[in-house]
Amino acid sequence: MNKNTKKLLALSFMAIFIVSTVSVAFLGGGRVTPPADKTSDTTITGTPADNYKDKDRPTFCGTNHTESTKYITEFKIPTICTQPLAIMVDQSGSVWFTESNTGNLGKFDLSSKSFQEFTNQQWQKGEKSMMWGLANSQDGNIWITDSQHNLIWKFNPSDTSYQRFAFPKSNTQDGSFPQMLLIDGQSAYINDFTGRKIGVFSVDQTGQDLGVSSIPSPGDHNFTSAMVTDTSGKLWYTVWKYQQGGDLVSYDKKTGNYTQYFLPQDIQAPNGITIDSSGKLWIMDTASSYFFDFDPASNKFTKHITSPPPVSSYGNASGLIKTPISRPYWAHFDDNGRLWFNEQVANSLGAYDPSTQSLVEYLVPSKNPNWSDCGTLSDCGVAQVLDFTVDHNKVWFTEWVENNIGVLDSSVPLPINVTTDPSIVIHHGQNATVSLNISPQESLDSPVSIITSNTAGPQTVSITPQQTMVTVDKPQTVKLTISADNFAMPGTYQVLLSARYHDITVSKYVNITLE
């Protein structure tokens, strides 16, 4: 990140989401510098809100209330303006999260619905840092990354003590940025987002020096994103330049050899990565509405798409947003083989089931209007759900600008069920008709919206539903016409057919073969 970007982030940390571009710094983690000297426009409250001027507090500290739905319950952190970021669940079921505006670690006990916040006495007042990485080791210690100060922290829950360790600096123009944290057995891995390396250390080391070693990222790519290990112990991660391509990297720790796979040109900002039980890699593209799977056996990438974001997430009061996107960020699999991901600017959490080719998206109830093009619109904005973790049928997440943590219960029945044809064949210049069958699973109090998206793009494939609003008081079928452009390139694409009811979107994918 250059000097001007850091200055901008220090003042507001706002990528302006009313256009279809995004700050590279925000995509990667957004380094925040300490605030300037307090002036008369900052009311001293003795809380972390003092790190922001009065006019900026609604943007970064959020509201003083929580919202909940049938599926999601939010909990307000007692301390004002902590800006929770990374989150995890330990073996006892306690929820831990980092507070990026205090340097503290927070804990939430679900049975008592009570918070504890553990003061980091080594943290300097007025500092803040994006603390993306959070994981616990087998000995019970909790490890944290600190991007602003280039540190790794170890927290001992037994005596509530913090110990800090230096992360190796890089000689790159933008310096080091320790971001995500993966602990695999006794080995811990940290991607240096701007430092072109992966840091590795053993969590059972003692003393003042962790002995962090570096795995240099291949090539001259600007960014190194999060990592995952496969069953053979290989490390997988992405290296990339924003909107300029990159590689998926497989690193063999035994031999020190890299294998690189060119990423599809559609991937502009590959941040999140995870792996399924079959060995497929799944990559989230935070600069679009796409996510991808990669099969190492065939070296093949497959592109998937989310539904269009709800208007309540982006507002569009100015009318400037022509093609809203969802920005999938991080990803985890649950016990049932569903791929979960946070859709950052759609203010949603998505669950994709590869076995049924279905997608369910849950809208987060809290919304901060200062991060979207809301204008005078009410119930508009995003809570900046920047991290989440999956614990069986519960999905825990943080709301960075609303000072909340939340939990999604995926065992709650959905209001509707949808089915459709799994695949069709179309010749270029021709049309085909598919049916979307919608069945109510409860009494619905309003119509269901029909929305669509596709991986080929509107210039190649267009979709026209017979109806855009449907009253579903009994099973209904909606016909949709899928048209292929006269000059459409042959290939296989996906169309997503969605039914949206209030804060839930239920979708099915149709595989289209263009001939």
Task: Report pLDDT digits (tens) over 291-332.
Answer: 999 999 999 999 999 999 999 999 999 999 999 999 999 999
Task: Report pLDDT digits (tens) over 240-278.
Answer: 999 899 999 999 999 999 999 999 999 999 999 999 999
Q: For residues 257 and 211, what is the distance between their CA atoms, to the nearest angstrom?
A: 22
Element of type H or E holding 380: none
Whether residues 436 and 368 fall in one domain: no
Q: Is residue 15 part of a domain?
A: no
Which residues fall within 8 angstroms of residue 313, CB to CB, at 6 or more apart?
Answer: 324, 345, 346, 347, 348, 363, 367, 372, 380, 381, 382
Q: Is the pLDDT of residue 20 over 90?
A: no
Q: Is 87 exposed, middle or buried (0-12, 13-18, 19+ CB in 10 A)?
A: buried
Residue 78: what pLDDT? Answer: 97
Whether residues 345 and 225 fall in one domain: yes
Residue 391, domain CATH:
2.130.10.10
Q: Is residue 53 part of a domain?
A: no
Q: Is residue 150 part of a domain?
A: yes
Domain total in the chain: 2
Residue 293: what pLDDT? Answer: 98
Whether residues 256 and 347 fall in one domain: yes
Residue 172: what pLDDT? Answer: 87
Q: Band of the pLDDT at 6, cuts 50, 70, 90?
A: very low
Whether residues 155 and 274 fall in one domain: yes
Q: Is residue 4 part of a domain?
A: no
Residue 4: what pLDDT? Answer: 38
SS3 content of the chain, % helix, strand, coil (to 5): 5, 45, 50
Which amino acid would we find at residue 365? P
Parent domain of 485: 416-514
Whether residues 391 and 440 fall in one domain: no
Residue 39: what pLDDT? Answer: 58
Coil/strand/helix, residue 325: coil
Whether residues 350 and 241 fall in one domain: yes
Last residue of a domain, one of 389, 409, 429: 409
Q: Band of the pLDDT at 18, cuts 50, 70, 90?
A: very low
pTM to 2 decimals?
Answer: 0.93
Give the distance from CA 285 to its chain's centroid. Answer: 9
Which residues fall within 8 angstroms of residue 244, CB to CB, at 6 or more apart?
Answer: none
Whether residues 349 and 441 fall in one domain: no
- The residue-averaged pLDDT of 16-43 equals 46
Coil/strand/helix, residue 1: coil
Give the distance from CA 266 to its chain's centroid. Answer: 18
Whether residues 235 and 307 fall in one domain: yes
- The residue-averaged pLDDT of 341-354 equals 98
Q: Is the pLDDT of residue 34 over 80?
A: no
Q: Is the pLDDT of residue 23 over 50?
A: no
Q: Is residue 268 part of a domain?
A: yes
Task: Report pLDDT digits (tens) over 201-235.
Answer: 999 977 888 999 999 999 999 999 999 999 999 99
Residue 185: what pLDDT? Answer: 94
Residue 457: what pLDDT? Answer: 86
Q: Is residue 43 part of a domain?
A: no
Q: Is the pLDDT of residue 7 over 60?
A: no
Q: Band of the pLDDT at 30, cuts 50, 70, 90?
A: very low
Last residue of a domain, one of 409, 432, 463: 409
Give the whole-number percent of the chain exceeding pLDDT 70.
92
- The residue-averaged pLDDT of 176-194 equals 97
| Alpha-carbon distance values, 180 to 135, 280, 407 (Å) | 9, 21, 21
Residue 215: what pLDDT? Answer: 96
Task: Report pLDDT digits (tens) over 376-431.
Answer: 999 999 999 999 999 999 999 999 999 999 999 999 999 999 999 999 999 989 99
Name the more confident of 8 and 71: 71
Last residue of a domain, one of 377, 409, 441: 409
Q: Is residue 49 part of a domain?
A: no
Q: The tokens of 238 are what?
A: 């992405």
Residue 36: what pLDDT? Answer: 46
Average pLDDT, the chain: 91
Residue 498, domain CATH:
2.60.40.10
Whether residues 372 and 450 fall in one domain: no
Task: Report pLDDT digits (tens) over 141-171.
Answer: 999 999 999 999 999 999 999 999 999 999 8
Whether residues 183 and 257 fall in one domain: yes
Whether residues 326 and 350 fall in one domain: yes
Task: Report pLDDT digits (tens) over 441-478.
Answer: 999 999 999 999 999 988 899 999 999 999 999 999 99
Whether residues 305 and 425 fall in one domain: no
Q: Is residue 112 part of a domain?
A: yes
Q: Is the pLDDT of residue 1 over 70?
A: no
Which residues fall within 8 angstroms of residue 225, CB to CB, at 6 or more apart?
Answer: 28, 179, 180, 191, 193, 237, 238, 239, 240, 270, 271, 272, 273
